[in-house]
Structure 1
Amino acid sequence: MVELLDRKKSANWPELIGRCVVSFILVLLTQCSQFLVPQFFFDLPVFIQLLLSALLLLAVVGVVGWCRRLLRVRASAPAFVFCSVLFVWVVYIAIVRQAATHLMDLLFNGQIILLIFGLCRMLSSDPGLVSYSPSPSDLIAQSSSSEIDTYHQDTELGDRVRCCQICKAYVKGFDHHCPAFGNCIGHKNYLLFMVLLIGFLWTEATYLVCLSQYAAQFVVPDGDGTRLEISLSRKVASSTMLFSILQLVWQVLFLLWHMYCICFNIRTDEWIHWKRYPEFQIFIQSSHGEKSSEVRFKNPYDKGVLQNLKEFMASKR
């Protein structure tokens, strides 16, 4: 081990600004695709609208991915998340806020501010980086095509230090690299990650409550000359509702998975790639005492749900 070097390189501002602009355009395209559902299928049941919204979202992701590869432009996932939050906030202030109660208005705006602060904090947080000075033999092994050997080197560092294959950095308690938050999730910022994930769920649930108040209280008067404008506003609000519900469903599943990982003291990377880590492998012995080729998973870090939760809450932040 050597002293940890600064992992934050000087920002290439023209490239960074360009990626943020691309992300902003992608947010507009995504939200416009969601607007098509209430625009043409406003009278359909909400469940059918959700299915159409999900299909459109997948289609947009596929087409945008192909266009980005063709044009060789890059976007920023954290900027996409940030712009999506701002877009929903603008829709709330411009349309939905007029029907929300003072309590819900105060609650939602406060949540958005805390969410933006949490995103900035997560982006700059230390996931538990450690420094590792490879020996010449390690450099030879890393230059080979064997992925298993590279991961086996990580286990020699101890303390569940793993190598993020995206950042090429060693992280203690590495769970996964989160593109949406632009950072690795590890020992030091796992708790912040969970708090931020719950914050997203809470904010989206609050927004849906405000939308329900808007739908219940806002009535379009017959014969009003502003009927077209009001109808357009309601469709914009409905499109953000569909987007928020899809996000809510995905994030609930994501939260449940991480709660499971915390309760059984397992990390996502370890669960997916357990065959690359010797401590998670158990060899089944045959009846004649010979080692079988069958390898099963075992978790040597599981100390029971209560103790696992205690260690998680006591982790350094």
Structure 2
Amino acid sequence: MVELHDRKKPAKWPDLIGRCIVSLILVLLTQSTQFLVPHFFSDLSFFIQLLLSAMMLLTVASAAGWCRRLLRVRSSAPAFVFFSVLFVWLVYIAFVRQDASLLMNLLFNGQIILLIFGLCRMLFSDPGLVSHNPSPSDAIPQSLVLEIDTHHQDIGLGDRLRCCPICKTYVKGFDHHCPAFGNCIGHKNYVLFMVLLFGFIWTEATYITCLSQYSAESELLDGDGARLEVNFSRKVARSTMLFSILQLVWQVAFFSWHVYCICFNIRTDEWIHWKRYPEFQIVVQSEQGQRSSEMKFRNPYDKGILQNVKEFMVSKQ
């Protein structure tokens, strides 16, 4: 029996702490640049501020990637997500909490705690790692595989076993490697992934609702002596609102894509790299008199939306 799962060795503590520090710096840098939008462009419409905020995010991401390559330092995507959640939570406690109702406070704080718990569980969850010694008959015929990656060639072991190109790990029902959650998404943690993703959407929507109420309340204090403090807290709240809306748009789009995949029983890796897997290929002969043929996509796992969703819901956790 040969162990196929060959996950990368865990980083040593000094390296791990260094990555977390880099991620914390990136979060502070990202949120600081977001603050510049309402600070210098407060007179512009909210839609224009949102576009500027998106441009700032792209600029910071590009500059941060260039600096990391130049300085040869590495960051941790899960740590970045954790510190981003923590930053939003601190802004809520410092500025927004006093204007929110007791029910809203309990709801939002509970959502944040559940998110942190879900992130930790996802980070250490088993996506469906397998151990198997493939027989020669298990190999995919080379003549049937088009545009195959010779360095990460997947072998057909049944049960939709795929290889993660990041972890060099064979995962049953592999969908994709999620850098934000620091783990592969596969048969055993796909439901947890969807629940956690929905939790982010719900929390972001709740936070935006709380910020809207806070902004309405803070506008009533413009005539008071505490105008400078109100303006600063409003700008911080507005910057996190812009960031949260952009996050929400991306998360809704990502969640919708995975709902589509579940309904039609297809995985992201299979959709993108379907030419690697013979079961997704069907040869269509050209018209009579022509020798050429065309390779088209088909999904042999699609059993209808209801049955596909049922299989997803009863998958092993």
Q: Which runs of 5+ in 1 are unaligned?
A: none
Rate the CA distance shift 1:4–1:149 in 2: closer, same or farther, 3 A.
closer
C-alpha displacement at 1:5, in angstroms? 6.6
C-alpha displacement at 1:263, in angstroms? 0.2
Residue 174 of structure 1: aligned partner: 174
Return the alpha-carbon distance in structure 2 between the equivalents of residues 221 and 263 of structure 1.
50
Return the alpha-carbon distance in structure 2 between the equivalents of residues 47 and 211 of structure 1.
16
Report 1:47-66 matches (<5 A): 47-66=47-66
Report how many residues are paired: 312
Deviations 1:241-285 (A, max 9, x none): 000000000011001100000000000000000011111011111
Between 214-223 and 257-266, the greater mean CA deviation after superposition: 214-223
Q: Do the aligned residues in 2 keep the contact of 1:151 with 1:163 (CA within 8 Å)?
A: no
C-alpha displacement at 1:287, in angstroms? 3.7
C-alpha displacement at 1:288, in angstroms? 3.8
| Equivalent AA in structure 2 for residue 208 of structure 1 | I
C-alpha displacement at 1:103, in angstroms? 0.7
Between 50-59 and 38-47, the greater mean CA deviation after superposition: 38-47
RMSD across aligned positions (CA): 2.5
Return the alpha-carbon distance in structure 1 between the equivalents of residues 187 and 151 of structure 2.
18
Report 1:69-88 matches (<5 A): 69-88=69-88
C-alpha displacement at 1:155, in angstroms? 4.1
Residue 299 of structure 1: aligned partner: 299
C-alpha displacement at 1:43, in angstroms? 2.0
Q: TM-score, normalised by structure 2?
A: 0.92
Q: Which runs of 5+ in 2 are unaligned?
A: none
Residue 250 of structure 1: aligned partner: 250
Q: TM-score, normalised by structure 1?
A: 0.92
Is 1:206 matched with 2:194?
Answer: no
Return the alpha-carbon distance in structure 2 between the equivalents of residues 152 and 158 of structure 1.
17
Deviations 1:116-139 (A, max 9, x none): 000000000000001244689x9x
Return the alpha-carbon distance in structure 1 between the equivalents of residues 160 and 252 of structure 2.
27
Q: Do the aligned residues in 2 keep the contact of 1:127 with 1:188 (CA within 8 Å)?
A: yes
Return the alpha-carbon distance in structure 2 between the equivalents of residues 262 and 153 of structure 1.
25
Residue 111 of structure 1: aligned partner: 111
Q: Percent identity?
A: 77
Residue 44 of structure 2: aligned partner: 44
Q: Do the aligned residues in 1 keep the contact of 2:23 with 2:77 (CA within 8 Å)?
A: yes
Between 215-224 and 22-31, the greater mean CA deviation after superposition: 215-224
Report 1:1-317 matches (<5 A): 2=2, 7=7, 9-133=9-133, 148=148, 150=150, 154-219=154-219, 221=221, 224-288=224-288, 292-317=292-317
Rate the CA distance shift 1:293–1:286 in 2: closer, same or farther, 3 A.
closer
C-alpha displacement at 1:230, in angstroms? 1.9
Return the alpha-carbon distance in structure 2 between the equivalents of residues 6 and 52 of structure 1.
43
Rate the CA distance shift 1:290–1:216 in 2: closer, same or farther, 3 A.
same
